[in-house]
Amino acid sequence: MHKPVSLIISFYNKIDFLRLIFAALEQQSYRDFEVIIADDGSRQDIVHEVKRLIVESTFQVKHVWHEDKGWRKNIILNKAIVASEADYLVFIDGDCIPHPLFLEEHFDSRKPNQVVCGRRVTLTEKTSKYVTSLQIQNRNLHKILFWPLLFESFFSGEKTHIVHIFRIKNIILRSLLAREKIKGILGCNFSAWKEDLMKVNGFDERFVHPGMGEDTDLDNRLRHNGVLTISKKFSITIYHMFHPQLDLSNRHNFVLRDENIENKVSFTPYGIDKTNMN
């Protein structure tokens, strides 16, 4: 059955994190969604575990997989976009746990010619251990995490972005205290109309290194097509699990990004439709 929302999860081997995400999805206030796992080449034993999760879930799930040939997130995301049946798409990374109101707030925030970005609370190695399926099922995660995150932020100097753990439910109050701002796409937490993504031909698949450039490139091409990215505060929250910092030393992505900016590229031939690719 056609769903109004497709949640696309970027995934690679981190099955324990995916279990936590599925636990969080079972608690979503908005239920009319499908899930697409954009799997960038996980091992076959992990794929087996993914299929088991899918069977046990109460929501509709598709598993889109390709062979592991290095970091090819943009390619598998494009395949997931094509596989999606909804008109509105929400994107998270496979190490991000959504708040129970996450999908509801993304869907309610949708507007024509607009991308919506939420916020992330960055968990340290210690605080990540507090995240369990039981705490997610009890909808108690923000309470469990608050004091450990506060301690690490002030006494250990960790960048936890703890301010985003606070939520303002009243729409009027939120509009007064946290005005929407035009910002760039946050790849681990954003939503967009599928039609708008197709107009720019999805992600540029020449970006083959993690960490920087691929989301900025998509944002720039959308802007050239009149689609602006709006950042939301005190809502649309994810909890970003700890992982070692990515290697950002490779300049390949930066060169591609800067070339596309200089040439004012609005449609990449290296995306979903490769008919005009050189």
Q: According to the model, what pLDDT value does residue 1 have?
A: 67
User: How is 174-206 classified by DSSP, letter by letter?
Assistant: HHHHS--EE----TTEEEEEHHHHHHTTSS-TT
Take residue 141 and report the two structure tokens written for it: 């995660």
- pLDDT of 105 reads 95
pLDDT at 104: 97
Strands 119-122 and 33-39: unpaired
The CATH code of the domain at 5-244 is 3.90.550.10
Per-residue model confidence (pLDDT) at position 227? 97
The rounded distance, in Å, linking the Cα atoms of 200 and 224 is 9
Are 90 and 193 spatial neighbours (Cβ–Cβ below 8 Å)? no
What pLDDT shows up at residue 90?
98
User: Rounded to the nearest 5 degrees, what angle is found at the Cα of 236, between the Cα atoms of 232 and 239?
Assistant: 120
Task: Kindly list the distances between the CA atom of residue 227 and the CA atoms of 105, 111, 184, 264, in Å, as whole numbers in the listed order.
Answer: 19, 10, 11, 15
User: What angle is formed at CA 182 by the lines to CA 164 and CA 222, rounded to 5 degrees?
Assistant: 120
Residues 6+ apart with CB under 8 A from 125: 242
Edge-first strand order for the sheet with 114-117 is: 60-65, 33-39, 5-11, 88-93, 189-193, 114-117, 228-231, 181-182
Domain boundaries defined on the chain: 5-244
Question: pLDDT digit of tens for each residue in the chain (278 aa)?
Answer: 689 999 999 999 999 999 999 999 999 999 999 999 999 999 999 999 999 999 999 999 999 999 999 999 999 999 999 999 999 999 999 999 999 999 999 999 999 999 999 999 999 999 999 999 999 999 888 889 998 898 888 878 888 888 888 888 777 777 777 677 878 898 999 999 999 999 999 999 999 988 778 899 999 999 999 999 999 888 999 999 998 776 666 778 888 989 999 999 999 999 999 987 76
Cα distance between residue 130 and residue 241, in whole Å: 10
User: What's the pTM value of the predicted model, to 2 decimals?
Assistant: 0.94
The number of beta carbons lying within 10 Å of the beta carbon of residue 195 is 12
Task: Give the tokens for residue 75.
Answer: 């390619």
